[in-house]
């Protein structure tokens, strides 16, 4: 009986020909899972989302070749970061336009 040689190219991993067989998967111990989540700063939450939104994220994630939950995390992170920048920008602009009364009286 001749052994079948499996090509170990990048393409076989990316196409999931290698590395995606559930028969070779085992769940990580709870302690290791907690250690990983802590080191990545992750916290489990519960949220109810519209099914269509979840389906959209699943489709987008599939297109990009990633899981839908990491995609959601990334989208939420980008949204929060953008909103924080907008808030800071607004505060800076309002401070530029603010003139204290003492300075305003001196100018008059």
Domain range for 81 is 10-107
Distance of CA 78 to the CA centre of its chain: 8
- Does residue 3 fall inside a structural domain? no
pTM: 0.59
Q: Give the chain's domain count.
A: 1
- Does residue 73 fall inside a structural domain? yes
Torsion of CA 12, 14, 16, 21, to 10 degrees: 90
pLDDT tens digit sequence for 22-70: 888 888 899 998 999 999 998 989 999 999 999 999 999 999 999 999 9
Spatial distance between the Cα atoms of 47 and 56, rounded to a whole number of angstroms: 16
- Does residue 15 fall inside a structural domain? yes
């Amino acid at each position: 009986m001749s052994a079948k040689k499996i090509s170990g190219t990048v393409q076989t991993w990316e196409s999931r020909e290698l590395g995606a067989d559930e028969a070779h998967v085992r769940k990580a111990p709870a302690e290791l899972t907690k250690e990983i989540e802590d080191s990545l700063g992750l916290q489990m939450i519960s949220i109810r989302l519209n099914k269509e939104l979840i389906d959209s994220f699943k489709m987008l994630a599939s297109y990009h070749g990633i899981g839908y939950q990491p995609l959601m995390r990334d989208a939420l992170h980008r949204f929060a970061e953008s909103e924080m920048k907008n808030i800071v920008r607004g505060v800076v602009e309002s401070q530029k336009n603010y003139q204290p009364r003492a300075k305003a009286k001196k100018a008059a």
